[in-house]
Amino acid sequence: MELICKIAGRNLWRHRGHSLVIGAILFLGSLFMTVGNGVVSGMDRGLQRTIVRSFTGDIVLLSDKHESDNVFMEMMGRAVEPIEDYAAVRAVLEKDSALSDFLPIGKNMAMILNDEDGPSAFVYLLGVDFGRYRKMFPGNMEILEGRFPVEGQTGMLLPLWARKEIRDQTNVWFVPAGAPMGLGLDTSHMDADARKHRADMRVKNGMVMMGFNEANTATDIRLNVDGVFRYNALNTIFGHFALTDIESYRKCLGYFLASEKNQGKVSGADSALLSMEDGNLDAMFGTDSLVVTDKPAAGLSGPPVRKSPPREAVSPRPQNPPAGASVKPAAMDLDQGAYNLVLLLLKNGVNSDAALAELNARLKQAHASVRAVPWKKALGVVGSMATIIKGALFVFVSLLFVVAVIVIVNTLTMAALERTPELGMMRAIGARKGFIGGMFLAETAMLSALFGGLGIVAGILGVGVLSLLKLTSENDMLQLFFGGDTFHPLLTAGDIVLAGLQLAFVTVAAVTYPLLLARKVGPLDAIGKE
């Protein structure tokens, strides 16, 4: 081995040109591999922070009746089915030691009605218990105007992006209740187009929304805007999701309210249906059913959780109701009402695939009619984008591998051919094929260790510098790539080991063909025929 290394080392110096070419490729390859690993790791951690820890959790539970796993990004698609037996689900979740927290929510779409016969707008609603939401996703948003709703009261938080879209479609600009609506209107978060048409815009602080449940029928509700906010990352994507208190959401979607369950009552809409006579059922599907009425019908019963009542008028609150109108009695159990999804956060270090499989098994055992899906599936195309970006990075790094291998193979092959007389002479005086192969391997390994090692060190420094630059972007695609609003590549010890293994793989792949070629050189090749 000492002899092999001595000859290999001196040969590298003797053929400095070749060595430098191969070394440069190995250096650049290692550098890009290391930085690529850092970007992927940073993206993973960033996505964990900006999506998992801010929006979806690691795992999402949804009703078995809902066909698609994509429950958040199914644009204009089917409404999300309600979970029918949340009590059974909760019992399973409370015993799951892999979970750090879970949050049941309502999620569906609502139409924002325009009271001036103009076009309506749409917004996704997330119905939440604001207290639990803030505990589950602390610091995931910044309130720009107004305030965070008071726990236990009706309320709504409107994302900046949704407000802009609503204005684009309806020419209505929503501001938080209590904020100036005329002179003194806060324009600091207004986009350029809204500023331009400021004089023509109508300004409101409450909206009438009609929810769309799985039967495309629901209830109108009026809600005041408590605050306008921005998600701290991926605001354009997540900015379509407004937050409402869960009871208002349920009312909007025509679901059972916890308040009514707690009081042994059904909702106004349900009560109307329950009291409807059989003969009047057809009227539900006639034009009369669209007539807003407070008059109860009789004789209708329905599924235990979900109700699909005809549109019901909920007495609108005053335009500026006093803040803090409570819909939840102090001791009320909000879980008595309907939910669409449960968001689950895993404890640190828990393997998400294993936890998901185990949870699904437990849910099945408990006969709960829900299934657990990973966050990427629940986010549909957005979750896939993260995978695609990671895949693209992987392909990029793999292409680097291939290019590096091809160039090194060519250079080493040329070296092997140029050195045929020398190699043949060594074979003639007694060197075995293994010695020749070992010499080639040693030469490449030395180059790889030296230049590849330098490349990895440079990559580590590069990742550190990139991280310190704190590059930011408002672009959601870039934010997906960044894993958040700030580019923060990150290298773990595992990533560095991975870069070393990738380098070793490139070295072995690159040296194999030239090594086999060199091993084939015989003594006769050195001496030549007479």
Interaction site with another protein (CB under 8 A): 3, 6-7, 10-11, 13-14, 421-422, 425-433, 435, 522-524, 526-527, 529-530
Closest distance to another protein from the beta carbon of 428 (Å): 6
Comparison of 4 and 266: residue with beta carbon closer to another protein: 4
Residue 184 is encoded by which pair of tokens? Answer: 């003194």
Q: Which is nearer to another protein, 68 or 420 (CB)?
A: 420
Please classify residue 74 by burial: count the beta carbons closer than 10 Å to its beta carbon, then call 0-12 exposed, 13-18 middle and 19+ buried.
middle
User: Please, what sign has the CA dihedral across residues 207, 211, 217, 218?
Assistant: negative
Nearer to another protein, 176 or 438 (CB): 438
State the nearest-atom distance from the C-beta of 427 to another protein, in Å: 7
Nearer to another protein, 11 or 507 (CB): 11
Q: Are 27 and 454 in contact (CB under 8 A)?
A: yes
Q: In whole angstroms, how close is the CB of 355 to another protein at the nearest point?
A: 56
Name, in order, each residue with C-beta under 8 angstroms of 171's C-beta and a sequence gap of 6 or more: 118, 197, 200, 201, 202
Q: How far is the CB of 410 from another protein (least distance, A)?
A: 23
Distance in Å, CB of 441 to another protein, minimum: 17
**Is the Cβ of residue 186 or residue 422 nearer to another protein in the bound state?**
422
Residues 6 or more apart whose CB falls under 8 angstroms from that of 134 comprise 148
Closest distance between another protein and the C-beta of residue 27, in Å? 24
Closer CB to another protein, 296 or 522, in the complex: 522
Our measurement of the distance from residue 69's CA atom to the centroid of its chain's CA atoms, rounded to an integer in Å, reads 14
Query: CB-wise, 165 or 422, nearer to another protein?
Result: 422
Residue 412 beta carbon to another protein: minimum distance, rounded to whole angstroms: 17
Nearest approach in angstroms of CB 411 to another protein is: 18
CA angle 280, 283, 285 (to 5 degrees): 135
Burial of 449: CB neighbours in 10 Å, binned 0-12, 13-18, 19+: middle
Residue number with CB closer to another protein (265 or 432)? 432
CA distance 268 to 182: 36
Closest approach of Cβ 383 to another protein, in Å?
A: 57
Q: CB 482 → another protein: shortest distance, Å? A: 50
Shortest Å, Cβ 423 to another protein: 10
Closer by beta carbon to another protein, 3 or else 403: 3
Q: Are 427 and 399 in contact (CB under 8 A)?
A: no
Q: Cα–Cα distance between 192 and 198 in angstroms, integer?
A: 10
Dist. CA 520–CA 176, nearest whole Å:
81
Q: Between 17 and 279, name the residue whose CB sits nearer to another protein.
A: 17
User: How many CB atoms are closer than 10 A to CB 405?
Assistant: 21
Q: Which CB sits closer to another protein, 15 or 107? A: 15
Residues whose CB is less than 8 angstroms from the CB of residue 339 and which lie 6 or more positions away in sequence, other chains included: 82, 83, 86, 104, 105, 106, 127, 246
Q: How many residues are present in the chain? A: 530
CB count, 10 Å around CB of 90? 17
SS3 269: helix
Tell me phi and psi for residue 166, to 5 degrees: -65, -40
Rounded Cα gap, residues 248 and 338, in angstroms? 12
CA dihedral 206, 208, 212, 215 (to 10 degrees): 150
For the chain, helix (H) and strand (E) counts, in that order, are 20, 13
**DSSP 8-state secondary structure symbol assigned to residue 55:** I
Q: 């500023």: which residue's tokens?
A: 195
Spatial separation of the C-alpha atoms in residues 234 and 84, rounded to whole Å: 32
Q: How far is the CB of 519 from another protein (least distance, A)?
A: 11
- Alpha-carbon span 511 to 443, nearest angstrom: 9
Per-residue CA distances from 402 to 321, 430, 459 (Å): 67, 36, 19
Identify the DSSP state of 81: P
Closer by beta carbon to another protein, 347 or else 520? 520
Q: Report the residue number, 240 or 419, with the smaller CB distance to another protein.
A: 419
From CA 461, how far away is CA 520, in angstroms rounded?
A: 42
- Shortest separation between residue 513's beta carbon and another protein, angstroms: 20
> Which is nearer to another protein, 13 or 17 (by Cβ)?
13
Nearest distance, CB of residue 1 and another protein, angstroms: 11
